[in-house]
Amino acid sequence: VRWGVAFLKPVTWLAASLTAGILLADWIRPHPALPLAGLFFLLPVCLRWPRAAAGAALLCGVLLQSAHGTLGPGTLDRWAGETVRAVGRAEDAAEKRFALQVTEVDGTPARGRLSVYVRSGDLPPEGAAVAVRGRLSEFRGALRMTAAGIEVLRAPGLRPAAKLRALLDRTMRAGLPPHEAALLAGLLFGSREQLPPAWVDSFKRAGVYHVLAASGSNVRMILVVPLFLLARFDRRLGVLLVIPLALLYWALTAGEPSISRATVMVTIALLGTAIGRAADPLASLSAAVLLLLALDPGLLRNIGFQLSVGATAGILLLTGPLQKWLQERCRLPALLAVPVAVTLAAQAGAEPLMLYHFGQTSPVAPVANLPVGWILTFLVPAGCILLIPAILFPALLVLIKPGLWLLVRTVDLFAAIPGAFLYLPPLPWYGVLLWYGAMLLAVSPAIRLHRPAAAVVAAMALLSWSVAYAAPSGVLRVTFLDVGQGDAILLQAPDGSAMLIDAGPATEDGYDAGDRVVLPALRRAGVSRLHYAVLTHGHLDHAGGLPAVLQAMAPAAFWDAGGHQHPLPLGGRRPRAGEVLRLGGARVEVLGPPVVPLQGSRSDLNANSIVLRISYGETVFLLTGDLEPEGEEALLRSGQNLRADVLKVAHHGSPFSSTAPFLAAVRPRIAVISTGPNRFGHPGGDALGRLRSAGAAVYRTDLHGHVTVEGDGRRLRVRTARRPAPAPGTPLLRRPLVGAW
């Protein structure tokens, strides 16, 4: 059998197997003993049949990742919402904040990066070991903390690269206005802090955001000048002098994943040149992936790393054929065909990942990347060269200002084109695989008719989209979104109509669940149009995220129980109890609030929540907002049918709600609690006990992530984004074989 991909070197297979192993481990989260046992049996086989090494690499991936999950330091997310004492190294100090490279939280080893805001007092010296007290909160995927107290544990250690980087950062801030300094730091070293949001937005819209994240091509642009100079003397000596320079640059970017990838590749290529052997670029990309993932399997989750590898693979596989096609068929001159081919190839390699993770695409990107690339070819080396004398004379950096201005204007120009940037339903994971399969097929000369085959597979990748999203599902899907402490529930009717019930919290430290969780989840679920939005009551943990959602997606109708804690851009109608609505085959019945509002309860806003009973075929959902005992009692008194298979537990599982008589009337089989880190003690122990004794299987968004319940009219199926892991610190021997972390 000829596989037609014989041009792939063994190291590429090993890298792919290791990657697959890490992904597999993430999926089944096995006890490390499982892959260890597998390796024990497979290694002797490898000695006999070297090809079994791919299987061994897969098991190594599983082993590495599961060892990481069970023995490695916990990540910071665990403590989100809690007040903690975090210990780590202070870095990147600027104005009123610094970054803390965390090593320990409340005495437990932990790892992660934290933005620390300092309201008053001095910033700690960079590189110092410090302990910071404060509440950890999540904002736009990053963790941050406002320091209530800072204690310097140890003076700055000897970390020459960090010191040099701090010096260069100070130089850039001294020589340029703040925004330009932040932009230059992004272009040269990949730091994305302090960039004005409008610029970040433009770079994203134009599809050139990668240049702000220190793309791997920086390494080439920076080394080109020294390589050229040194090559004039002695090739080998030059090569050996340039490798340390590449490593220095890597250290200055604090190990940015795309730079790590590029540094390993460049080092392999340079060493190859030194011993007179040309390195195969695809093999050195594979070696870089193999090495970096073996050192840190967690890197695979880093989207920057994924995009960097994807784009590089695209360039290595497709540039040649594309260039040939552009020159021969489109009659482009070589001067233009080469950069166009490189940009298109990089785009082809990165696009499926962009679509999978963000559901975003920027159709102007292939064009925008050309002028941006040309500007950077001058700007990056010039910036590096200028930065050295600028340490003494910061004013010299003025020379680079026109270049930065030109870059921003160019990007703005492309970002302003209508349709420059589109949201699409995210590509499913099998679509990503098919896409890369098509890329490989397109360049596999050993297979007959490989081009038509590639076209067929590419068409399948595009088709996987419609399979996943376009077709009416025929099921009623209710997703309880993990928005932290609050509620946000997406209801997708069998014909695709969508209703959103609440949109999660907005907190004073800038977290907006609408922007951060609800809108991405809507896009991921393929919802491009909201037929109904419902606000059960005006508390901020339900209404906070709504303005962002209403702004992005104006719903056809908006139900609102009133009593807002902050203004909404759109007034809604208060539905009457007894009102019934047909939503694509599902029946939505309004059970509350009562016509005469309840008064004098624990919280009248909660007591008068909108309560919905949704039935589809034989299956029934009951959504109870933030009802407390008075509200539940009023529902019981109203004599309405409360029986339901799935109960959205009232008031985040508060100990006062979910009273025994109410649960006896509902008799839920599945109970979903929407909650997150909070100071109210939700969910309360006795409420959980009552739910369990009522016979309900309990799901919690704080433990399970998004909880999706699907009903085909007869049967129900529950899917959760996470499986609750054993508590951190559970001894290895007491962990289950599957789902061990």
- Interface with Zn ion (CB under 5 A): 539, 541, 606, 626
In the complex with Zn ion, which residue's Cβ is closer, 351 or 560? 560
Cβ contact 620:542 at 8 Å: no
Closest to Zn ion by CB, 280 vs 541, is 541
**N- to C-terminal Cα separation, the chain:** 40
Minimum CB distance to Zn ion, residue 719 (Å):
24
Helix axes 450-465, 429-442, angle to 10 degrees: 170
Cβ proximity to Zn ion, 53 vs 610, nearer residue: 610
**CA atoms within 13 Å, Cβ hemisphere of 387:** 23
The string of DSSP letters for 285-339 reads HHHHHHHHHHH-GGGGG-HHHHHHHHHHHHHHHHHHHHHHHHHHTS---HHHHHH
Minimum distance, C-beta of residue 716 to Zn ion, in the bound complex (Å): 25
Q: Which is nearer to Zn ion, 66 or 601 (CB)?
A: 601
CA distances from 657 to 38, 115, 654, 677 (A): 49, 37, 5, 19
**Least gap, CB of 512 to Zn ion (angstroms):** 16
Least distance to Zn ion from the beta carbon of 654, Å? 9
Question: Least CB distance from residue 615 to Zn ion, whole Å?
Answer: 25
Nearer to Zn ion, 429 or 680 (CB): 680
Identity of the residue, 137 or 606, whose beta carbon is nearer to Zn ion in the bound complex = 606
User: 272 or 562, CB closer to Zn ion?
Assistant: 562
How far apart CA 18 and CA 14 sit, in angstroms, is: 6
Number of C-beta neighbours around residue 446 at 10 A: 11
Does residue 651 contact residue 536 with C-beta atoms inside 8 Å?
no
Minimum separation from the CB atom of position 571 to Zn ion (A): 20
Whether 614 and 499 have beta carbons less than 8 Å apart is answered as no
Give least dist CB 652 to Zn ion, A: 6
Q: What is the DSSP letter of 126?
A: T
Contacts by 703-708, CB closer than 8 A, 24 or more apart: 704/482, 705/482, 706/479, 706/480, 706/481, 706/482, 706/521, 707/479, 707/480, 707/482, 707/672, 708/477, 708/478, 708/479, 708/480
Alpha-carbon span 623 to 635, nearest angstrom: 12
Continuous segment of H or E residues that includes residue 358: none
Total count of residues recorded for the chain: 741
Nearest alpha carbon to residue 558 among 585, 531, 581, 590: 531
| Closer residue to Zn ion, CB minimum distance, 104 or 604 | 604
Shortest Å, Cβ 371 to Zn ion: 50
Nearer to Zn ion, 314 or 538 (CB): 538
Nearer Cβ to Zn ion (141/600): 600
Closest CB 146 distance from Zn ion, rounded Å: 24
Tell me how far, at minimum, the Cβ of 688 lies from Zn ion, in Å: 17
Q: For residues 457 and 463, give the distance between their C-alpha atoms in angstroms, rounded to a whole number.
A: 9
- Nearest approach, Cβ of residue 568 and Zn ion (Å): 15
Q: How far apart are CA 692 and CA 698, in angstroms?
A: 7
Of 505 and 526, which CB lies nearer to Zn ion in the complex structure? Answer: 505
CA distances from 292 to 68, 101, 269 (A): 14, 20, 16
**CA separation, residue 454 to residues 317, 351, 624 (Å):** 13, 17, 51
Smallest gap from residue 485 Cβ to Zn ion (A): 8
Burial of residue 730 (number of CB atoms within 10 Å: 0-12, 13-18, 19+):
middle
Q: Output the smallest distance, CB 94 to Zn ion, in A.
A: 37
C-beta closer to Zn ion: residue 491 or 627: 627
- C-beta closer to Zn ion: residue 280 or 626: 626
Dist. CA 65–CA 75, nearest whole Å: 14
Would you put residue 195 in left (φ > 0), alpha (ψ -120 to 50) or beta?
beta
Is it true that the peptide bond before 244 is cis, omega within 30 degrees of 0?
no
